[in-house]
Structure 1
Amino acid sequence: MDTKEYFSYRKELLESSVYPDGGGYADSLFLDNILSDLLETKLIDSEDINNCFHSSILDGSKLKVDAYCINETGERLQLFLINEKATSIGAKEDDLILSTQAEYEEMFIKANNFIKKSIKRHLDLQDSDPAYFIVEQLKSSEFINQIEVIEIFLVSPTITVSKRENQIIGLKRLNFKDKELKTTYVLGRRREEKKILIRQTLIDLNFLYSVSLSKGNEYALEIDIEDIFGSKIEVLKAAETEDFESYLCVLPASGIASLYRKYSTRLLEKNVRSFLQFRGVNAGMRKTIRETPEKFIAYNNGLTITATNSEIESMGAKLYLKTLTDFQIVNGGQTTASIFFSNKDKLDISEINLMAKINIAKNLNDEDLNALISNISLYSNSQSKVSRVDLRSRDPKIDRIKQLSDTVLTPNGRKWFFEKSKGEFATRKRLTGGKIERDYPRKIRLSKTDIGKYHTAWGDQPWLVKKGGEKVFRTFMENLNGEGVRKGEIEIDRYFYEELIAKAILFRGMEDIHGVRSNAIGQLRSAVVPYSISVLYNMFGGTDKRDAKFNLEKLWKDQEIEEDLKVFLKSLMKKMYHLIDKYKFSTDVSENAKKKELWEAIKKSTDLKEFTKNSNALSITEKYTFSKPKAKKSKEVDFSQLNEIVGLYSKTKEYYTKLENALIMYNVNNEVQLQYSQRLFSLYVAELFTNKKLSEQGIKFFDDLFSNIRINANSIFDQINVESDLSIPSALNKIMTIYGNAISDNKNIVTVFQGHEQLARNKGFKYTSSITEIGKALLNGKSPEFKHVSLASKYFKS
């Protein structure tokens, strides 16, 4: 087995986990980098976790924990533990290849010891210790009464393998058995006994590299029905088509409660779980559970479940369900949570049963599978309002933002990279031999989570931004689609995109001003930054009904924050630390910051009003107030297809010749073949280099082929060492910059390009008429033809 790709990915993770000021590697940054993968695979609900590094030895036992979070409904504590030996830059590759469960168990024991010592009140920390709050919580009877599950994530950038006679024979996936921690505590005057479920999950390089290749489905949730429900479940086949099978069954509520206890919101379809409210139990359900539990099945609509695979056993004339893979509840999430919390509150659910419809998708690619699950989710929930915003995996507005990021250049001629789909940047990196990182350093790259956070932060909901993850992204999508605070869809055009980038510059700039470690203003940056941005938003007249009159256009044009504004923002963030501390209503300030109540208290405070009315604040307000109406623009040009063609052309014909040879050799030497059409490969290469054009089908062919290679045969890219011809991409970037600046300055586009044609003619360039043809196309809202860009490339390159 070739481990090269895994170690290369580990190196990337470690190199991206260093402080920008040259302060070196930090475990907290490493953890930040992998949280999106845990969110992607539904292991966590939010990327906002609390760092609480603690490592000690107590009574001969090693204790360690690096971070924690408590889920929104308070019954689940998640602890994060980093294998520091595996994150050492100097670690030897042989030491990073592990094969036995015992090697990981030794690390899990440290977190288990931390839990036990804290609950038994053997661990006493100073209140300045980062782990003080979580230790005090674990000592508390109220907290122990509240939580049901403690989940430990061991993050270890090691490769887990199977070995035979000391030879690696393949990757291995390790699952760790659940444990139960028995404890007693006093609540009021009663002595209570409790069993807390301890779950242990390994996040190794196998997992991280797989998710980076957009193959997180390999770690899809698999439910062992007999293990959870205590027996096999009889099912009745209701339908079968080429795409899916449908079964009906009755599920006992006790099993549903066990299922939710073990997996929590990971059970719930990703687009639905973000808007369900699980605080407390539906009053009608609670009444039925308490008074007439036997009628629950008659009153309730039951569950709709989807899966991508199943194991069904036939015994005589009956069918029994044994396992389900990629288990998701797409309708009935509120019912599931209500049953769990009723059981937690000691209501008897032993007589309750639920109807369930189980849809098992089959023979579908990822895109069709997502569409099927989205439709099942939408129509299953039709009896109550379920916004189409919930089904956001292929939202056209996100596609439009991607188009704009590919084609809108900043006034200084650079692009920001928006990674719409996970793994997209990694693919481009392999295709360019890593050179793309020079053009798109981390500070000008954006993910879907990023754009949701930055857009939402420019408003009046900083507590929501602090929650992060899907909650803030959902708010973003609601706002775009006119289902949020304001009604009416937002047009995704150049102005929207420029302002979105300005908001990103503001947010990231404030993070830099805040600083990290010894240079930081404090230890609550994830709250202080969005809270301070909301203050700025309100200072400039922003409300739920109208936009703030702050000069975002200046941020877009400058691509940085001016010095006087930096000074003010630093003073604002210092003030925010004081305000958060003054108006907090519990010792866990980080969790406080996720509550609307804290923001409302700060917003209404006399302290804040005085600060925003001082001379510095008034000076900033006067200088940065911007009320110029948006200029009327010509029809928006979509450069995305031309951009794709230019990118493919720049690889050169030699590249495709070598690629074709590498593909042929790969299929000769490997049992698992890379599926592609050699005929179409030759056809589209000829169309690109002979006819100077490429159809949409051709663009999609190469896009799918490169993605297929990255996921299944990454090493092919290493075999092709051909320098790209960047003359036409450079020319196109210059054209898009000229076009963008002409729009911003309200200039006539044709006149601008005619001026360039005259200049090109004076300098003796050929084919100068193609420059005016480019201007005419742009004026009509059309992308220029590739042949015109090619003919004009020498001038624009110069």
Structure 2
Amino acid sequence: MEDSEFLNELRQMVMRRGETSNLVDTIAFVSEVAERLEEDPVFGEFILAEDSRQGAKNKQIKLHGFTDIDESDGTLSMVIGRWIDDDEPAILTTADVDQLRGWLENFAAEALDGGLDEKITESSPAYQLASTLRRKRASISCIRLHIFSNQPLSRAYKRESRSEVCGTQTEIHIWDLQRIKALYESSREREMLQIDLDEFGSTGIACIEASRGEGLQSFLCVIEGNLLADLFDRYGSRLLEGNVRSFLGMKGGVNKGIRKTIQDAPHLFFAYNNGIAATAASVTLDSIGSTARIMKISDLQIVNGGQTTASILRGKKQDRLNLAGVSVPMKLTVVASNDAHDLIPKIAEFANTQNKVAIADFFANHPFHRKMEEISRRLMVPARTGIRVQSKWFYERSRGQYQNERLYLSKAKKDSFDLQYPSDQVINKTDLAKYDNVLHEKPYWVSLGAQKNFMKFATKFSSKGDQTEAQRWEELSPDFGDTYYQNIAAMAILWKAGETTVSAAKGQWYEGDYRPQIVAYAWSFIFHALRKAGREPDLKKVWEQQEANQGFLQVFKRAAVLAQRTLLELPEGSSNVGEWAKKELCWGKLSAIPFRLDTTAIEWSIEKNEHKSKARDARQQGIQDDGISLQQQILMKAENGYWQALMEWRSIEIHVFGPDLDLLRRASSPGTAVRLATGREWKRLREISDRCEAEGFRHHENVVGQP
């Protein structure tokens, strides 16, 4: 795609976001790119925070948003955007970059040393950033300065990427037109790191090749503690596989045992520590004497051992410990790029099994997501008067999936796609978690931010006791069928209508900040009041009408006023609205307030007994749908040769025998597979498949047999 074509697509995205979220173009642009970057470890979870003022000595201060401290590596990000609404924007010059960078650096300097937090109203998210910079200065390892622009960066730009502000290290990241285009075109959700160990004064990582297979190559390595610390210091949580990073951030803290070993017995570190597990896209090897050494690594990700890595760096930087003599065992698996998306999360999951990490930490490929995606591709919205084409609500199982699927279509196909999946009918996995937790009266979880709220949501899928994850999902799956997805889409409608209602009240009762928290608390407050009255929200009615009733939004407005008041009335000892919103005490304060339910609220709700009856019916339908879906999967595997290939797998008799082998034989032919009539047989075949794949079986269509 040419730059001009992409720029036009980007302009349409910005316009749509601006219209639906009541944002000016620059802020809509910043929000659009920030949302796409949120799962990139170099960025994080974005908080919109507009601030513009004159600082000391008349220096201009400007900010559009930030991401909070990443607990795994001590970094935070500041963001400023530049949007030029021209068909062919001029080049982003060095002078332009210096100006934008200067505005962010001025904010940081005044916050660190100039008491900026005392000059910003406490109800502003910018106050949260300024306060964090001052209070947590000693914990901040680096401030990342992000510049977003829809202009192409000048080729003459040669500034150093790293510098200091008031003694705190900074690092600039410029997201110009070409880099944003590459971000949108990429099917990955992160930029690939290219690490040259020469740049760290290293002679490489000693290694031996341990195994080699189809698409995989594994090495047993020894990495020096200083090198591991330097890599993490340079690249931070970009080195941590996404779910490991989230888990580490939730736990925080430094392992005291690691610190003690480094301090008292560094030569025993290798013996005492389990080491780290990592993956890479490729490595470059060299030999020094008889020892093979890794000299370059592409896309290094630590999938187990994040706590070890962070603790080693903190020991070096904060405790001033000497890492000479510290060696860390490392298992490095090189994964072919076409297999990376599926295999890396699995490697991470199994590498962490010994630590009993909850399924919430490795949720990206859970069958729940695949089921939501499948439902969203077939479930049409109810027919409405005057609308010829019935559309669908698109579920994004991975970040940017919606734009990626439409980006390279012809104009005619793109128009058809847009009619089928309108841009305002997209739900991603963190949106879904947000809507679900609001519905279940957890606005304080939603206020934790998208990723941490998602982790909270995902805990409901964790296995219990001796249950396997597959057994837990089989138990839960019927509850997450068509009716559930309709309810989530209805919540999306209510959420967006709530955002519009709050934004429209700016200059009236809305003070202009913390809109997401107000919306989350207000809807949860209404649902709480309905349940106290023995009723439930009628989300089916919202789904059927595909819009929020204006009378119901008047109820929401009353709730939102109370929600904002509760959020802004900080308890003694607290000075941060964002942090107060994350506390269950905040929800307790709001939910204790009496709330009058008028006739409109009653009309948009149903009695609790009716709700329970509908839920039972939905579960029964879910059980039936799951059975049909499983039967279809079994037959499809028969038709594409999966069961036949499994029969011919050389290890089959080690893992499958007796009645299971007979069942597999019957499934291997489409003609006999179609006669498998019981759900028990279908489930048994699925268990056989899962067991054999866990033992190494892989099936590729048109390839018979496996090594």
TM-score normalized by structure 1?
0.67
Match of 2:683 in 1: none
Q: Which runs of 5+ in 1 are unaligned?
A: 164-173, 184-194, 641-694, 698-798
Query: Cα distance 1:569–1:465, how it changes in 2: closer, same or farther (>3 A)?
Result: same
Query: Cα distance 1:460–1:242, how it changes in 2: closer, same or farther (>3 A)?
Result: same
**Rounded Cα–Cα distance in structure 2 between residues aligned with 1:153 and 1:55:** 19
**Rounded Cα–Cα distance in structure 2 between residues aligned with 1:455 and 1:124:** 35
Alignment of 1:781-792 (within 5 A): none
Match of 2:97 in 1: 104
Alignment of 1:226-625 (within 5 A): 226-228=198-200, 230-276=202-248, 277-346=250-319, 348-351=321-324, 352-362=326-336, 364-365=337-338, 368-412=339-383, 413-421=390-398, 422-428=400-406, 430-431=409-410, 432-480=413-461, 488-491=475-478, 492-516=480-504, 517-518=506-507, 521-522=510-511, 523-541=513-531, 549-584=536-571, 585-593=573-581, 595=582, 598=583, 600-605=584-589, 608-612=591-595, 614=596, 616=598, 620=602, 624-625=606-607
How big is the shift at 1:101? Answer: 5.8
Contact residue 109 and residue 165 of structure 2 kept, 8 A? no
SS of alignment partner, residue 210 of structure 2: strand
**Rounded Cα–Cα distance in structure 1 between residues aligned with 2:70 and 2:537:** 34
Query: Cα distance 1:540–1:254, how it changes in 2: closer, same or farther (>3 A)?
Result: farther
**Rounded Cα–Cα distance in structure 2 between residues aligned with 1:528 and 1:549:** 21
SS of alignment partner, residue 52 of structure 1: strand
Alignment of 1:174-189 (within 5 A): 177-181=160-164, 183=166
Contact residue 89 and residue 151 of structure 2 kept, 8 A? no
Query: Cα distance 1:403–1:94, how it changes in 2: closer, same or farther (>3 A)?
Result: closer
Contact residue 149 and residue 262 of structure 1 kept, 8 A? no
**Rounded Cα–Cα distance in structure 2 between residues aligned with 1:225 and 1:156:** 32
How big is the shift at 1:356? Answer: 1.4
Q: Deviations over 1:319-361 (max 9, x none)?
A: 3322211110001012112223344542524243311122222
Match of 2:9 in 1: 9
Query: Cα distance 1:469–1:124, how it changes in 2: closer, same or farther (>3 A)?
Result: closer
**Rounded Cα–Cα distance in structure 1 between residues aligned with 2:438 and 2:341:** 29
How big is the shift at 1:384? Answer: 1.6
Query: Cα distance 1:123–1:514, how it changes in 2: closer, same or farther (>3 A)?
Result: closer
**Rounded Cα–Cα distance in structure 2 between residues aligned with 1:520 and 1:440:** 35
Query: Cα distance 1:233–1:197, how it changes in 2: closer, same or farther (>3 A)?
Result: farther
**Rounded Cα–Cα distance in structure 2 between residues aligned with 1:587 and 1:381:** 38
**Rounded Cα–Cα distance in structure 2 between residues aligned with 1:378 and 1:586:** 38
Q: Deviations over 1:558-593 (max 9, x none)?
A: 323334432222111111111122245532312432
**Rounded Cα–Cα distance in structure 1 between residues aligned with 2:259 and 2:229:** 14
Query: Cα distance 1:464–1:322, how it changes in 2: closer, same or farther (>3 A)?
Result: farther
How big is the shift at 1:135? Answer: 7.3
Query: Cα distance 1:217–1:38, how it changes in 2: closer, same or farther (>3 A)?
Result: closer
Residue identity (%): 23
Contact residue 43 and residue 67 of structure 2 kept, 8 A? no
Q: Which residue, out of 51, 55, 67, partners 1:53?
A: 51
Q: Which runs of 5+ in 2 are unaligned?
A: 384-389, 630-637, 641-707
**Rounded Cα–Cα distance in structure 1 between residues aligned with 2:329 and 2:565:** 53
SS of alignment partner, residue 145 of structure 1: helix
**Rounded Cα–Cα distance in structure 2 between residues aligned with 1:361 and 1:25:** 43
| Larger Rg belongs to | 1
SS of alignment partner, residue 610 of structure 1: coil
**Rounded Cα–Cα distance in structure 1 between residues aligned with 2:174 and 2:312:** 29
Alignment of 1:647-726 (within 5 A): none
Query: Cα distance 1:615–1:378, how it changes in 2: closer, same or farther (>3 A)?
Result: closer
Query: Cα distance 1:4–1:604, how it changes in 2: closer, same or farther (>3 A)?
Result: closer
Report the residue type matching 1:565 in the other structure. Answer: F
Contact residue 111 and residue 152 of structure 1 kept, 8 A? yes
Match of 1:36 in 2: 35
Alignment of 1:139-218 (within 5 A): 140=134, 142-160=135-153, 177-181=160-164, 183=166, 195-216=167-188
How big is the shift at 1:269? Answer: 0.9
Query: Cα distance 1:255–1:62, how it changes in 2: closer, same or farther (>3 A)?
Result: farther
Q: CA RMSD in A?
A: 3.7
Report the residue type matching 2:538 in the other structure. Answer: N
**Rounded Cα–Cα distance in structure 2 between residues aligned with 1:109 and 1:383:** 47
SS of alignment partner, residue 463 of structure 1: helix
**Rounded Cα–Cα distance in structure 2 between residues aligned with 1:535 and 1:287:** 49
Query: Cα distance 1:160–1:313, how it changes in 2: closer, same or farther (>3 A)?
Result: farther
Q: Deviations over 1:731-764 (max 9, x none)?
A: xxxxxxxxxxxxxxxxxxxxxxxxxxxxxxxxxx
**Rounded Cα–Cα distance in structure 2 between residues aligned with 1:577 and 1:389:** 31
Q: Deviations over 1:144-176 (max 9, x none)?
A: 22211110111111234769xxxxxxxxxx896
**Rounded Cα–Cα distance in structure 2 between residues aligned with 1:555 and 1:512:** 17
Match of 1:88 in 2: 84
**Rounded Cα–Cα distance in structure 2 between residues aligned with 1:94 and 1:489:** 52
**Rounded Cα–Cα distance in structure 1 between residues aligned with 2:606 and 2:129:** 46
Q: Does 1:627 align with 2:609?
A: yes
**Rounded Cα–Cα distance in structure 2 between residues aligned with 1:618 and 1:566:** 9
Q: Deviations over 1:51-98 (max 9, x none)?
A: 133254754755432212222539322100112xxx132x36161x45
Contact residue 551 and residue 626 of structure 1 kept, 8 A? no
Query: Cα distance 1:461–1:94, how it changes in 2: closer, same or farther (>3 A)?
Result: closer
**Rounded Cα–Cα distance in structure 1 between residues aligned with 2:628 and 2:182:** 32
Contact residue 313 and residue 320 of structure 1 kept, 8 A? yes
Contact residue 14 and residue 32 of structure 2 kept, 8 A? no
Query: Cα distance 1:103–1:509, how it changes in 2: closer, same or farther (>3 A)?
Result: closer
Report the residue type matching 1:360 in the other structure. Answer: V
Q: Deviations over 1:216-271 (max 9, x none)?
A: 47831223324346553333333334423323332233333333333332211113
SS of alignment partner, residue 415 of structure 1: coil
Query: Cα distance 1:395–1:520, how it changes in 2: closer, same or farther (>3 A)?
Result: farther
**Rounded Cα–Cα distance in structure 2 between residues aligned with 1:514 and 1:154:** 29
| Structure of greater relative contact order (alpha carbons < 8 Å, 6+ residues apart) | 2
Match of 1:224 in 2: 196
Match of 1:732 in 2: none
